[in-house]
Every structure is written in C-alpha cells, then in structure tokens.
Amino acid sequence: MAEQGIRSVRSNGDVLATGRRKTAVARVRLRPGTGTIKVNGREIGAYFPSIKDRVLVSGALEAVGRQSAVNIDIRVDGGGPSGQAGACRLGIARALKSFDGELAEPLRQGGLLTRDGRMKERKKYGLRGARRGTQFSKR
C-alpha cells in the first residue's frame, strides 16, 4: 500500500508528495540540488510576502538541515496564504521523509508529518452561519 501523501519516487531521483491544509492542496516535487524553492513558478519570497508564511514553508527543511541540499517545486491551489503555507510545509515534510528515510524521526518529533485536520464548519439551515442564530426582535 502506498504511503499517505506520497505519490511516487521517480527513477531520476525526484520525489512527489502532496500536502493539505484547510482547503489548500500543495503538490511538491523534491530533487537533489542547491536549495531553491519555487511556488507556482515564482520564488518563495515573491509568492509568500509574509515572513511568517516563508518560515512556515521552510520549517521542515530547517528542522532536518537540508536547506541547501534539495530543490523544491511546489504547485499549490485553493485556500488563502496561511492554508497554502501549511499545505506546502506538510508536502515538503512528506517528500523529505521518502527522499531519506532517516529523516522521518526528526520530522515526526517536530510535528511536521501530522496533518492539521481543522476545517471550516459548515453553515446550518435556519442560522446565519455555522452557529450564529438570527437577531432577536421584540417587535
């Protein structure tokens, strides 16, 4: 059975993995290289202007010390910047795990291989949102 989130390990050394967060889906391609990270064809700094999001995306690489050992190409869609950054982080962690099996334990200890299952709660009928009711009117 294929491991969850890992699509394949190619013969040329590329590793394909998927990360999800909220409604965002990130497809990650990891290959040996010099340490460049591209998101939807742009540099990470151009795609994620917020430092918080850039740190979140590169957190898995820093946890295992592989910042300058691999090149990463990410295609991400859906959700907003925060969800997309979280999806990228999970995809990179899963790709690193299949790229080098010895990295699984440090990634697991850092909580980087756990998918965040929090999603937006659905709106219920008769209410204005997921839980908020209508405003009471005396007259």
* 131 domain-assigned: no
Tokens of 67: 């910042």
Task: State how many domains the chain has.
Answer: 1
Can you give the CATH number for the domain in which 58 is found? 3.30.230.10
The reply to whether the predicted model has a pTM over 0.85 is yes
Q: Which residues pair with 11 in a beta bridge?
A: none
Q: What percentage of the chain's residues is helix, strand, coil (to nearest 5)?
A: 35, 25, 45
Which residue blocks in the chain are alpha helix, DSSP H?
Answer: 44-47, 51-64, 81-99, 104-109
130 part of a folded domain: no
Give dist(CA 59, CA 49) in Å, integer. 16
Flag whether 48 is in a domain: yes
- pLDDT, tens digit, 9 for 90 and up, residues 64-100: 988 888 999 999 999 999 999 999 999 999 999 998 8
Look up the domain containing 21 and give its range: 6-109
